DNA sequence: GCGAACCTACTCGGATATGGGATGTCCGAGTTCTCGTGG
DNA sequence: CCACGAGAACTCGGACATCCCATATCCGAGTAGGTTCGC
């Protein structure tokens, strides 16, 4: 199992957008340049965030992306869901229903294996939903206070 | 993000092995036939379980697979780790270290984004580790009491 | 009748094809700003 | 000097290649049990 690489890009991108402020629209190319990433692919990730309603996108000169909500109202779960989709990692194929002569009980609820897996995924989602962009932002600022100014400088240039 | 399909096969397979008992070795072909699955691929999953030490494998006539431990001592985490590997789903590529002129602080610990993601994955792992094969087995037996006998009948034939 | 050697059938194990999704790239649609021109 | 229109540059957005991993398959190594032959 492997999470898409774009998730890392998206989270860092959202953080940088948070530091840039909700007024300043930042082009995908500039966000990508900050980490020396291919701008077209970074653009793809930002498009996904836009479709999910996490960022606004404006075309044309002076355009770019900016956060659609306050960092307090964006959770890591939102970002992950925007990039990875909302489907569960474990997808029950109901192989139990393919037994030769099934032992009756047609409508016996959901597969118990599936339920166990979903319980675990719920714990994962809950933990992701408990972390907001603002939390993460605050932690980075405590750990490296010079980062916000550095980001703003590079994104404004 | 998507979990390997083999995980579902492996969990159901382990359950069936638990019902078959630790003495009776069941060939991969018979386990596969129970769910009408390609036997060669089921064999592959069982090999992974054997490498992880969850099942014993014996070749030759009368051979097959059997549980290496009591169902109480096998967690869903063990099965998932055996099939999917023990690597984290989120793999920090440390893109933050590729900024043009990094703002000093070389040894500033692990990436905070990575930490947040690992916290969520830990919750997922913890939940999986809390569920043993015995728990799952008991739940199935409560929900469909006729299943164990049905499985034993088909695996013995 | 008994023992041993051979032979067959069965099973796992790893090496080998194949397909789908993630990764990465490119070009077109639309918008905004700028510059030039005419009143 | 101001208004207007054409043009150019910039940006997103989606369509198009490419690559890698999960899926699926196949054949060989090894073992156990049965069988046959010799004593």
Helix and strand tally (H, E) in chain A?
7, 2
Tell me the residues of chain B between 120 and 139 that have a Cβ less than 8 Å away from chain A: 120-128, 131, 136, 139
Q: Of the candidates A116, A3, A88, A1, which has an alpha carbon nearest to the alpha carbon of residue B76? A: A116
The rounded distance, in Å, linking the Cα atoms of A45 and A68 is 15
Kindly determine whether residue B91 and residue A2, on different chains, have CB atoms separated by under 8 Å: yes
**Which pLDDT value is given to residue A98?**
85
Q: Does A109 touch chain B (CB under 8 A)?
A: yes
Residue of B nearest to A105 (CA): B144
Domains of chain B by residue range: 6-156
10-residue averages of pLDDT along chain A (157 residues):
97 98 96 96 98 97 96 98 97 89 67 97 98 97 94 89
**Which pLDDT value is given to residue B100?**
74
A120-140 pLDDT per residue, tens? 999 999 999 999 999 999 999
Kindly determine whether residue A92 and residue B136, on different chains, have CB atoms separated by under 8 Å: no
Kindly determine whether residue B116 and residue A109, on different chains, have CB atoms separated by under 8 Å: no
Q: Does B143 touch chain A (CB under 8 A)?
A: yes
Judge whether residue A46 contacts strand D, using its CB and a 7 Å cut-off. yes
Instruction: Tell which CATH classification among 1.10.260.40, 3.30.930.10, 1.10.10.10, 1.10.1740.10 matches the domain B6-156.
Output: 1.10.10.10
B93-106 pLDDT per residue, tens? 999 888 877 666 55
The rounded distance, in Å, linking the Cα atoms of A31 and A24 is 13
Kindly determine whether residue A7 and residue B128, on different chains, have CB atoms separated by under 8 Å: no
- Residues of chain B in contact with residue A119, where contact means CB-CB under 8 angstroms, are 127, 131
Q: Does B156 touch chain A (CB under 8 A)?
A: no
The rounded distance, in Å, linking the Cα atoms of A29 and B92 is 22
Question: How far is C-alpha A87 from the geometric centre of its chain's CA atoms?
Answer: 13
Residue of A nearest to B148 (CA): A103
10-residue averages of pLDDT along chain B (157 residues):
97 98 95 96 98 97 96 98 97 89 67 97 98 97 93 89
Instruction: Provide the mean pLDDT of chain B.
Output: 94
Handedness of CA B134, B139, B141, B142 (dihedral sign): positive
**Which pLDDT value is given to residue A105?**
59
Judge whether residue B50 contacts strand C, using its CB and a 7 Å cut-off. yes
A47-70 pLDDT per residue, tens? 999 999 999 999 999 999 999 999
**Which pLDDT value is given to residue A52?**
97
pTM equals 0.93
């Amino acid at each position: 199992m492997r999470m898409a690489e774009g998730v890392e890009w998206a989270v860092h991108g959202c953080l940088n957008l948070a530091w840039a402020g909700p007024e300043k629209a930042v082009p995908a190319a500039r966000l990508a340049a900050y980490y020396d990433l291919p701008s077209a692919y970074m653009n793809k990730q930002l498009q996904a965030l836009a479709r999910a309603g996490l960022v606004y996108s404006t075309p044309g000169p002076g355009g770019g992306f900016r956060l659609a909500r306050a960092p307090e109202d964006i959770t890591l779960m939102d970002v992950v869901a925007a990039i990875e989709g909302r489907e569960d990692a474990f997808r029950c194929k109901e192989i139990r229903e393919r037994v030769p002569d099934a032992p009756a009980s047609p409508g016996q609820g959901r597969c118990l294996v599936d339920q166990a897996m979903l319980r675990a995924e719920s714990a994962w989602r809950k933990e992701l939903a408990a972390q907001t962009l603002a939390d993460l932002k605050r932690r980075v600022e405590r750990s490296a206070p010079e980062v916000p100014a550095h980001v703003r400088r590079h994104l404004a240039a």
